[in-house]
Structure 1
Amino acid sequence: MDKVTRMASERPVVIFSKSFCGLSHTIKTFFSEFGVNSAVHELDEIAMGKEIEQALSRLGSNPTVPAVFIGGEFVGGYNEITTLHLRQELIPMLRRARAIWV
């Protein structure tokens, strides 16, 4: 869990993903289109991917990817991010985390 916490704090937006996951691809593209320079960790391509995935599961990420952290805090996956966006809460959250400036 400590490793996930450290990784989640390395940038304002951190995405845990799998390279073959369609929802992960959508989330990465979504943030990129907002101009966010996210840190992306592909769990199927890194040595501790399985352990990180288990830690994400314990945090409540279900499914485990995509898992998005904003400002070091776990926000959720695809459903949570799209809900925040539809409620017009995502952009202010990204501004507070200094992920975007506009």
Structure 2
Amino acid sequence: MGSQSTKIVRTSKMASSADVQLFIKKAVTDNKVVVFSKSYCPYCTMAKEVFQKVKQPMTVIELDERDDGAVIQETLAQMTGFRTVPQVFINGNCVGGGTDVKALHSSGKLEPMLIG
């Protein structure tokens, strides 16, 4: 699955909700795995640990470490229908949160998703 690498994205506040939507869409389109996370969240840690275990590089966007984190989280809620973190995207598709990623891994369904 390639070398293990985590890219953490921290940037300043975006100007508009359209900018936030564009940022989210670009992040999930340009990266195989994106985890919208909060650094203190145990479910976020659970998801990130699964990807580390399978040596899958991921882009982590720590919402609590960004000035615009709340706006990103609200925009994600509008896009996905839920506002909890983590929100994990694989190949541009939201696959859920930490327990969902763990269940996909336990059932053997995660690795095929990472290959495609």
Counterpart mapping for 1:1-102 below 5 A: 1-58=21-78, 59-63=80-84, 65-96=85-116
Per-residue CA deviation, residues 19-78 of structure 1 (Å, 9 max, x unaligned), is: 111111121111011111100000011122111100121212342x11101011111112
The 2-side partners of 1:22 and 1:87 are apart by 21
TM-score by length of 2: 0.74
The 2-side partners of 1:86 and 1:34 are apart by 12
TM-score by length of 1: 0.83
Query: Is the radius of gyration larger for structure 1 or structure 2?
Result: 2
The 1-side partners of 2:96 and 2:87 are apart by 6
In structure 2, the gaps of 5 or more residues are: 1-20
In structure 1, the gaps of 5 or more residues are: 97-102
The alpha-carbon deviation at position 82 of structure 1 amounts to 2.3
| Matched residue count | 95
Whether the aligned pair in 1 keeps the contact of 2:50 and 2:102 (CA below 8 Å) is no
Identity of aligned residues (%): 35
The 2-side partners of 1:84 and 1:62 are apart by 21
RMSD over aligned Cα atoms = 1.4
The 2-side partners of 1:4 and 1:54 are apart by 12
